[in-house]
Structure 1
Amino acid sequence: MAIEHGYLSEQHTVTTEDGYILTMFRISKGKNCKGPNRKPPVLLMHGLLMSSDSFMDSGPQAGLAYLISDLCYDLWAPNIRGNYYSKRHIKLDPSVGILLEPGSRHTYTRSQLFRWLGDTYQLLLPTFYQAGLYEALPLGGFVQEAASYLCKDYALADFACKVALGLIDSFHPGSIKTETVQVLFGHFPGGTSVKNMAWYGQALNVDEFQHFDYGATGNSQLYGTSQPPAFNLSLVSVPVVIIHGRHDYLTSPADVEWVTSKLPNVLEQYYVEDPMWNHFDITYSQFTCRSILPKIKEYLDVFST
């Protein structure tokens, strides 16, 4: 996609300490950058069931990968273990359970579809394992293939596929272009482990940000306590800026307020002015350039040379 729009893209692999081979993409310099690159490089990390592609799906006028590289930053877009870019391992097969650390608390998630998915994977995790199923909603699976096929049609993409996004998150009419919807369903959902989805199911039903719950016996064997320990967010000393939308149904304002209160070095918690701004808008909205890029640029300028 980058090359089609006149940007130079590189592909790299990174092997983690525990042997996972991850694919990273790089735009070393933006097409519209007229001066030298600024330092340090920028790492743009995707979310659940997505990939680095998600920051490019809305095109050069709205995709954050393009916009940040055009600000003269060396832009890197990694992919977490388990999605379609990062399934390889130096000795393990992808159908070995993949253990992923969670991203945040989800106690007050308002997405009913996301709650249903999380609860379903949590309930059926032993059944999935017994059936030899370890991957959830993979690229090339029935859900993704059907969505990709149907959403290629402009009329369906303009209505049914936008409705599908609204059922996962919330509705923000006019924010995501129909052309972007046609592109994004070509590789969304991008897959994760069934265990990761089960963890999200657990996270929906506890008032804490904690490790995976294996039950009292399993927890005692692994953690030394009957309950899974909470992540110690007070150790996150890196300066943090939180950008959020009040209409986000996946990561609710209540959960954002909670995690903000736990982090010791929050520089700013910024709510997007648009009252309808939601979760998918971060990656897919046609309005990212005016809604979130200025705040991103403000702090990139502070911490770069």
Structure 2
Amino acid sequence: MYTLNFTELTDKYGYPTEVHKVTTDDGYILDVFRILPKCSDSARSYPVFLLHGIFDTADMWVVTGTKTGLGYVLASNCYDVWAGNHRGNFYARRHVKLDPNTDPDYWNYTFDEHGRYDVPAIIDYILRFTGHSKLFYVGHSQGSTNYFVMSSLRPEYNDKVRVAVMLGPVAWLKNYENPIARLLAQNHVAIKAFVDNAGLNEIFGREHFVHFVVEFLCELAPIFCDLGLSLTTGYKQGTIPLKDISVAMGHLFSGTSIKNLAHFAQLIVSRNFQRYDEGVTGNLERYGSRKPPRYNVSRISSPIVLVSAKSDMLSTLKDVDILVSKLPNLVENYIVPESYWSHHNHVWGPNAPELVYAKILDYFNKYKDDTTRV
């Protein structure tokens, strides 16, 4: 299970899958996996776009098996599932001109580019391929951030989404609770200067020693990965079976850019949801202002469902409340009632089908029958 890729995982569980190549406007080539709907009337199925969080890949939707993998659950309910990957991860390390192994410019991106280029390119591809005019969207963690960026900066894409469900939504990080990450964020300028001078551009890729260490420890002694997830996200140990934690964490750490991490660090320090701070000179050149502009989430007109957790250190209830106060078309701010629920229980928890996926299916059923959004 640790070494199986996306299509090998879906084949193992009997779900036919296609691999599609999507090229963004700025030349990045992304693998998008399509899980075919398992129903007799698949011609009437609606497309769903799933997007993972930071350091992760599309594997997260299928790695824990058919009962708790959202990709399988949706396909079994006759949805046409498209699991995307954003630039820089294991399934999206290609470019029409740049080589990620030798060209530093390949890694000159943050979640801003994910939102401005990757998400729109995948949406356009799915709609063009399926012939639909709208799709459903589910984003976990940074997968929600990317959507907020896209629909703020490219608001025309709001009309291409029936409803978007955000699991552990991340935008404002004013109340981010991880003390170690906060300390690193406060020193991110010096840290980034050091890694830039060292010629480092990527962090936590599949070929990075951290990935191999995590994979080894998760297989040898899953309790270590259980503890690691607890310390970094607020996860309550024992609420996800060790075998699922072990396998899921073995697929984690699949690569992103140093600059992307720096952008999140800037959100923590600035206490704003804003574009990347290039410094005064860079900001004037890029944005025409001394400071980076904030993302205007009031432009997000698509229906949004937020799914939050009481023990989530990454997406705290206080920070989600800021989103709630600013989103103009918020359908529901659903807080999972269990006190132990945290960031990854949304996607790996044994109770996710009842506590989260049922909610997703309810909203999908509601909005697919809404004739105003055909």
Q: TM-score scaled by structure 2?
A: 0.77
2:288 maps to 224
Aligned to 1:276, what secondary structure does the other structure show? coil
1:173 and 1:196 map into 2 onto residues whose CA distance is 29
Distance 1:286 1:222, change over 3 A: same
Alignment of 1:37-186 (within 5 A): 38-94=44-100, 95-96=104-105, 97-102=107-112, 103=145, 104-119=171-186, 121-153=188-220, 156-157=221-222, 159-186=223-250
Q: How many Å separate the matches in 2 of 1:36 and 1:59?
A: 22
Contact 1:38 / 1:304 at 8 angstroms: preserved in 2?
A: no
Which residue number in structure 1 is paired with residue 162 of structure 2? Answer: none
Q: Determine the C-alpha separation between the residues in 2 that align with 1:34 and 1:178.
A: 36
Matched residue SS, 1:42? strand
Q: Give how far 1:221 is off.
A: 2.3
Superposition deviation, residue 122 in structure 1: 4.2
Corresponding residue to 2:12 among 4, 7, 14: 4
Unaligned 5+ runs, structure 2: 1-8, 113-144, 146-170, 370-374
Q: Does the 8 Å CA contact 1:58/1:286 hold for their aligned counterparts?
A: no
Is this contact kept in 2: 1:19–1:90, CA < 8 A? yes
Quick one: which of 348, 351, 358 aligns to 1:284? 348
Bigger mean CA offset, 133-142 vs 33-42: 33-42
Structure 1, unaligned stretches of length 5 or more?
none
Q: Alpha carbons of 1:122 and 1:145: their partners in 2 closer, same or farther (altered >3 Å)?
A: farther
Shift of 1:150: 1.5
Deviating more after overlay: 6-15 vs 120-129: 120-129
The count of aligned residue pairs is 300
Shift of 1:234: 1.3
Are 1:37 and 1:74, in contact at CA under 8 Å, matched by a contact in 2?
A: no
Return the alpha-carbon distance in structure 2 between the equivalents of residues 207 and 149 of structure 1: 37
Asked whether the equivalents of residues 37 and 45 of structure 2 are also in contact (C-alpha less than 8 Å), the reply is: no
SS in 2 for 1:25: strand
Q: Structure 1 or 2: larger helix share? A: 2
Measure the CA separation in 1 of the matches of 2:248 and 2:346.
13
Evaluate the alpha carbon distance shift between residue 144 and residue 239 of structure 1 in structure 2; reply closer, same or farther with a 3 A threshold. same
1:77 shift after superposition: 0.3
TM-score (norm 1): 0.93
**Matching of residue 300 in structure 1 with residue 300 in structure 2:** no
- The whole-number CA distance in structure 1 between the counterparts of 2:215 and 2:96 is 31
| SS at 1:13 equivalent | strand
Report the alpha carbon displacement of residue 37 of structure 1 after superposing the two structures with TM.
5.4
CA distance change for structure 1 residues 107 and 72 in 2, over 3 Å: closer, same or farther?
same
| Separation in 2, partners of 1:34, 1:248 | 39
Identity of aligned residues (%): 34
The more displaced of 113-122 and 61-70 is: 113-122
Residue 93 of structure 1, CA deviation: 1.9
Cα distance, 1:243–1:162 mapped onto 2, change above 3 Å: same
Alpha-carbon distance in 2 for matches of 1:175, 1:37: 38
Task: Tell me the SS of whatever aligns to 1:205.
Answer: helix
Q: Structure 2 vs 1, CA of residues 121 and 137 (structure 1 numbering), >3 Å: closer, same or farther?
A: farther
Q: Which residue of structure 2 aligns with residue 209 of structure 1? A: 273
Distance in 2, Cα, partners of 1:205 & 1:280: 24
1:237 to 277, 297, 301: 301
> Residues 207 and 118 (structure 1 numbering): CA distance in 2 closer, same or farther, change over 3 Å?
closer
